[in-house]
Structure 1
């Protein structure tokens, strides 16, 4: 029996659990398209958000259980492309781009989906790159789950606002192109993967989480809108701090070249 086939058949449970979460995220992303076809727009957005939550959990679960695998990484990329590239583009196309822009709306939806695919391909290609430790605090371009969620911002706002402008095909098309640019670009954005909370801040953080949960129960769409805008507001700070750290790294490397005996 080939070694690869034997390893696959003997996949340990600690690798199976993260893959199950990834599969559920994939199902959630596809289900959002079904809800969109049935014009159940709020459920469609909720399904994409659920896919984002599951996507965040599967990686952490894999690291916690030490169950990372090449199969899981490939499955995760496929799930991300479907849930955060294909699904949001189709949802927005069915919601407003088709009726507002016709074929041009489809082209814009395709552009967003392709940009997400390029972003994920670049992320996979950069995984083996030897980069400074501080680079781990940043993503290159906006992360796919964040890009998908924020691309639906005006759709979310329309759930609690009667203003017709938020349903405009032109507005949503421009916004979708902007998010496509952010995902495919090399603009640094903050990553929370390596964020560490000091012990003295744990209780206040739990209180904040509890408060946000209470707000989410009463005003879910308003809170999601605020979170999206806040996240976008952090991008200029990410750019500034990334440039500062890059300059410090370059100065350190130059200093080592000038004084090799100190290293």
Structure 2
């Protein structure tokens, strides 16, 4: 029996078995971008409570830019995964729900006491509900193709950047009366929260720029450089203008959404009538 348990030296040339399969870097890269955005969102909370609001806004802004990049990088590298999608949702809740709510609370909402904290909670929870609804909508196989160009409600990144408008105006030196500004800021933050969980359609812009006419390429480059220079030179002025334009164009998007809905409903009705006419039995006498 001792032969069965005789000691032996392992073969040094024998390949070691891997416990886990290697993960391609093209799958890891988008998740690294998401984690970097999450670090910026958490850092924005710290900066907000340290009173460094300007840096807190910059951190949330860069997190929004990275959030727009991680999904595109994943699709470009063909590295999309269910893990990445779940991680992106959790990071978005922190970056565009928790971080803006706490930064706004440290800036202005705390002046309203418990009501201000309730407004911060409403904003954070609205962001969470909005992201949950977005994840469910992605799995809807019956959603018409034209509706994919629109979000249901205001997306979380846009809601976060829009909610920070009182901070932008503060850094622009807009004169405000604290007795008036605090209730206005509270009502504004709650309104943005309800916009995120509403069913108001907002244009997504996902299909914008997929095909650019050749004659517009150079003007596009010049415009992008000019816009970048303006944002770097006048960040809070440009952020204020962008937010106000975005809010002003929401009714235009709603009107266009309804028009497209009517057109597609009519087209579906015409197609159904044509199918019924083709399926109807033909009169032999005719």
TM-score higher than 0.5 = yes
Matched, 1:125 2:140: no
Matches within 5 A, 1:1-263: 6=20, 10-98=22-110, 100-129=111-140, 130-165=142-177, 168-196=181-209, 197-260=212-275, 261=277
2-side partners of 1:88 and 1:55: how far apart? 15
Superimposed CA distance per residue, residues 140-170 of structure 1 (whole angstroms, 9 cap, x where no aligned partner): 1111111000100011111011412489221
More helix by share: 1
Larger radius of gyration: 2
Count of residue pairs the alignment pairs up: 256
TM-score using structure 2 length: 0.86
Contact preservation (8 Å) 1:136, 1:194: no
Partner of 2:108, secondary structure, is: helix
Deviation at 1:200, TM superposition (A): 2.0
1:89 CA displacement: 0.5
Gaps of 5+ in 1: none
SS at match of 1:168: helix
Compared with structure 1, are the counterparts of its residues 198 and 262 closer, same or farther at alpha carbon in structure 2 (3 Å cutoff)?
farther
Task: Give the distance between the partners of 1:48 and 1:106, measured in 2 at CA.
Answer: 20
Partner secondary structure for residue 105 of structure 2: helix
Distance 1:42 1:262 in 2: 66
* TM-score, length of structure 1 as denominator length: 0.93
Aligned with 1:139: secondary structure?
Answer: strand
Cα displacement (A) at 1:217? 2.5
Shift of 1:127: 0.4
What is the CA-CA distance between 1:109 and the residue it aligns to?
A: 0.5
Q: Is the 8 A contact 1:29 1:82 kept in 2?
A: yes
Deviation at 1:262, TM superposition (A): 5.9
Tell me, in whole angstroms, the C-alpha distance in 2 between the residues paired with 1:162 and 1:252. Answer: 50
More deviation, 30-39/157-166: 157-166
Q: CA deviation at 1:248?
A: 1.1
Whether the aligned pair in 2 keeps the contact of 1:18 and 1:62 (CA below 8 Å) is: yes
Q: Contact (CA 8 Å) 1:33, 1:91: kept in 2 or not?
A: yes
1:123, distance to aligned residue in structure 2 (A): 0.2
Matches of 2:126 and 2:232, distance apart in 1: 33
Runs of 4+ in 1 over 3 A off after TM superposition: none
1:257–1:102 CA distance, 2 compared to 1 (3 A): same
